[in-house]
Amino acid sequence: MAAALRCLLAVYPRAPVCRQFATTSDVVSAINPAAWASLPSPSLLSAEHPHQVRNLLSGKWVDAADSRPIVDPLDGASVFMHVPVTGRDAELEPFIDNIKTVPRHGLHNPLRNVKRYRMLGEVSARAGAALDDPEVADYFATLIQRVMPKSKAQALGEVKVTQDFLSNFSSDNVRFLAKGFSVAGDHDGQTSHGMRWPYGGVAIVGPFNFPLEIPTLQLMGALYMGNRPTLKVSSNVSVVMEQMIRLLHYVGLPPEDVDMIHCSGHSMGELLERAQPKMTQFTGSSGTAELLTKTLEGRIRVEDAGFDWKVLGPDVPTTDGSVAYVAGVCDQDAYACSGQKCSAQSILIAHVNWLETDLLEMMKSRAAQRSLDDLTVGPVLSHTTENLLEHVTKLLKLPGSHLLFGGKELDPNTHNVPACYGAIEPTAVFVPLQSILSSADATRLCTKEIFGPMQVVTSFKDGELNDVLTLLASMDAKLTAAVVSSDPHFLHDVLSQTENGTTYAGLRARTTGAPQNHWFGPAGDPRAAGIGSPGAILSTWSCHREIIHDALLSENDQPPPIS
């Protein structure tokens, strides 16, 4: 790995701001977080050594007048970080000014400052190489676990997707990303050129559940297309992006290209209302997305909440292990990251044929193996235990419903999760399909997104597919979905009458997973923001501009007639 990073840093021409590496040992030190991180080791996060997170403004790391303590989500007592509370007018003003003063044509575009495409490709190459190093990957995975507790495998998966994304857009791939097209005109000398054009000053509001992957992919997509972003990530986890941006600076990103602000949601709303960025990308709750849409007069791209469904078709596989495989995927989809994924399986709709197998018992057995010890289940950062169990109680009041498993707080003797967070066992509640559809209130209750380790399970019989489709159509969030079947007619019927933006189909179908190799985002909404793929970047972070060149005028050309 050291040799690979040495090659990247030595061969690529560097932007003037890129750190110069004088010796071999100096190059190798780039792998060591101590060379670029303001928090050299996540293990240092403690009450004895709390970390002070800082804002990034105009290329400099700065403090705010006030800060708030962040409590360790696992012990419930230790203040292990302090995060700026940027909120006074004098503190917001320079961030607002920086958004307003970005040129409307961006920091670069296909006609101006084109060397920046190559520069950003080089930054991506170096950053991807750094994240591919086991020491750096472990640094970020451990830091993610400290602030958004999830299993090591889940945290490393987040780092891997980020690394792959950065590697995908190495070298010339940023300029290839921005390619356009030309079309012959009506006469000699006329051609039209379609170009991908930046917005200029933009904003990104990132969530807490994927503190590295989602903000990094959106941040880099915005930069690739020529925008200058102002980034805000949920304060509880924003230390992760603080350190990632420091790494990006170290491998050559001009420090002035990005601002990062830590503040309350109210202050960020004020900043956006006053600055009116040309485009804001928001990942988070549907309610906040609707408020921002009004505040920003529609200049917004949204990847909002997802009440995500999985339908198991009537053709149950008979091969050995197939039911166990599907049960395992159902468990991962519903309970990995303690269900705190916008793509988490929220409702499982199984044909009754599946209920004649051991599917539900296998899911129950796997869920019982999840433990706070290895963070395969952990704190729910957006709900309290009381809130979560209250929702279970409401579901169990519906006719014919019953608890499949879970429905209890994690053993209070085994955890110190703060009372402001949730701590419950992985939970599944069976509700008959006709009970779900019995009234608008029942449907709303059963399709309410609960960002935690909880799912509704229901079943359908032959002849009830239209009822299933009615239920699917009633759901507002159209993010991910899965159709588990090998029957082409069943797949066609479901896929052709639904609209979720990222939909898996087939026996391996899942709801979770936002890899870098395909679009991840909602559908059915003109505000839909994508992530990961070239198409997602183009759709989210650039607009179409057409320039028509009409250059040749001959002596025989006459003025157009008056009409």
Distance of CA 510 to the CA centre of its chain: 17
Query: CA angle 161-8-5, nearest 5°?
Result: 70
Distance of CA 499 to the CA centre of its chain: 20
Task: Judge contact between 28 and 40, C-beta under 8 A.
Answer: no
Give 78's strand partners. none
In 397-526, at which residue ranges do the beta strands (DSSP E only) sit?
402-405, 427-430, 454-460, 480-484, 502-505
Provide the b/e sequence for 319-339 (b: ≥16 CB within 10 Å). eeeebeebbebbbbbbbbbbb
Question: In 10 A of CB 95, how many CB atoms?
Answer: 26
Burial label for 274, CB within 10 Å (0-12, 13-18, 19+), is middle
How far is residue 238's CA from residue 127's CA, in Å, rounded to a whole number? 19
What CA dihedral angle connects 424, 428, 432 and 435, to 10 degrees? 20
Catalytic residues, by residue number, are 303, 342
Task: Judge contact between 326 and 544, C-beta under 8 A.
Answer: no
How far is residue 502's CA from residue 504's CA, in Å, rounded to a whole number? 7
Give 194's strand partners. 181, 546
Provide the b/e sequence for 15-37 (b: ≥16 CB within 10 Å). beebeebeeeeebbebbebeebb
Element (H, E) at 385: helix 385-396
Phi, psi of 41 (to 5 degrees): -145, 130
Residue with tokens 């590697």: 167
Strand order of the β-sheet with 67-71 is 51-52, 79-84, 67-71
